[in-house]
Structure 1
Amino acid sequence: MFEQLDEIRADCVNRLIRAARDRKSPMHTPVIVTADVDARVMVLRAFEADAWRLRLHTDARAPKAQAIIADPRVAAVFYDKGTKIQIRVRGTGRIEANGPVADAAWAASNNFARRCYLGEGPGALSNSATSGLPPEFEGVEPDETQVIPARENFAVMLIDITEMDWLYLAHTGHMRAQFTREGESWSARWVAP
């Protein structure tokens, strides 16, 4: 099934493309780890296969945004329980709150998603359980005018992948491969799980 390193790399590309496009993909919500050793589940919004770039959305005020600005090392873990395949990636992250990439991502979002950026920001203290949303938008989709203030809090997180670790869990024996990107080319090797 998995005998050639080129086939595995191509399979990883297909899985990441599907993960970004298909909400039901088990890899749609990877764990993202920043250099401050903090981890969180995020939604993968896009994967640019030609650039080996992941795109996720974030609040520009979030601690993870500040962590990436301070130290751009980022890792992500994707797992498909059904196929028993794990993909771990490492790369360089950056936060873009302005510019064509952020503008296009904002434009492609609906107002229900945009409302997430109307609150006080991730980590804001509260005296009670809260979604962080202004009360008038709890369960309500705001109109175009109401989401205008949210745009200044919206950003994209881009991760340029430089390393990839693929693991296949099998009762007959696990298999593992590693890939390292150097410019436009990749080196690959088999390693013991």
Structure 2
Amino acid sequence: MFETLDEIRSDCANRLIRAARDRHSPMHTPVIVTADVDARVMVLRAFDMATWTLRLHTDIRAPKAHAVAADGRVAVLLYDKGAKIQMRLRGTGRIEAQGPVADAAWAASTNFARRCYLGEGPGAASDGPTSGLPPEFEGVEPDDAQIIPARENFAMLLIEIAEIDWLYLAHTGHVRAQFSRGAEDGWEGRWVAP
């Protein structure tokens, strides 16, 4: 399937590009693990190949936002069942709620998606099952004026990838490669036993 480390690293980049752009990609919803050893599925919104940075959206009030602010170590798990490829990434996360990149991400979202930031903060206690949304927005898209208060709760989780562990599962024998960012943003790769 893959003969060189360069082919594998290119495949990793291409999979991340597709995962961010295509909601049907099997890697569109990776598992994100913060340093407090908590894991959750999130939606990959963008991948910047120049800096090898992933962008995901979050609520600034979420426990993961506080965990990343306290300790930026983050791991990412992605799996493509059809291709039989697993990617484990490690890097440094940071939360950004303000600035041109956050403003652009907010502007690119629909009001229906933005409404998630109108409700109670993630983890807020409830007497019964709840979406956390204000009742008037259950299944309803707010208008531009109604969505304004949500902006203060919107943030991005940016993860700069420092390590890649790539695994191809094959009945003839699995194949595994690892990459780490070397000096001057270059990547160093090696083959390892699965």
TM range (shorter): over 0.9
How far, CA to CA, are the matches of 2:170 and 2:134 in structure 1?
Answer: 48
1:111 aligns with 2:111: yes
Partner of 1:33: 33
Q: CA deviation at 1:32?
A: 0.1
Q: Secondary structure at the match of 1:177?
A: strand
Q: Secondary structure at the match of 2:74?
A: strand
Partner of 1:61: 61
Q: Deviations over 1:74-123 (max 9, x none)?
A: 01000000010001100000000101111010000000000000001100
Partner of 1:152: 152
Partner of 2:188: 187
The normalised TM-score by structure 1 is: 0.99
Unmatched tracts of structure 2, length 5 or more: none
1:1-193 to 2 correspondences below 5 Å: 1-182=1-182, 183-193=184-194
Q: Secondary structure at the match of 1:165?
A: strand
Q: CA deviation at 1:187?
A: 0.4
- Seq. identity, %: 78
Q: Deviations over 1:34-85 (max 9, x none)?
A: 0000000000000000110000000000000000000000010000000100
Q: CA deviation at 1:184?
A: 1.4
Residue identity opposite 1:67 in structure 2:
A
How far, CA to CA, are the matches of 1:156 and 1:108 in structure 2?
Answer: 13
CA RMSD of aligned residues (A): 0.5
Q: Deviations over 1:110-148 (max 9, x none)?
A: 000000000011000000000000000000000000000
How far, CA to CA, are the matches of 2:101 and 2:33 in structure 1?
Answer: 22
How far, CA to CA, are the matches of 1:156 and 1:122 in structure 2?
Answer: 15
Unmatched tracts of structure 1, length 5 or more: none
Count of aligned pairs between the two proteins: 193
Q: Secondary structure at the match of 2:11?
A: helix
How far, CA to CA, are the matches of 1:156 and 1:35 in structure 2?
Answer: 17
Q: Deviations over 1:136-183 (max 9, x none)?
A: 000000000000000000000000000000000000000000000123
How far, CA to CA, are the matches of 1:151 and 1:144 in structure 2?
Answer: 11
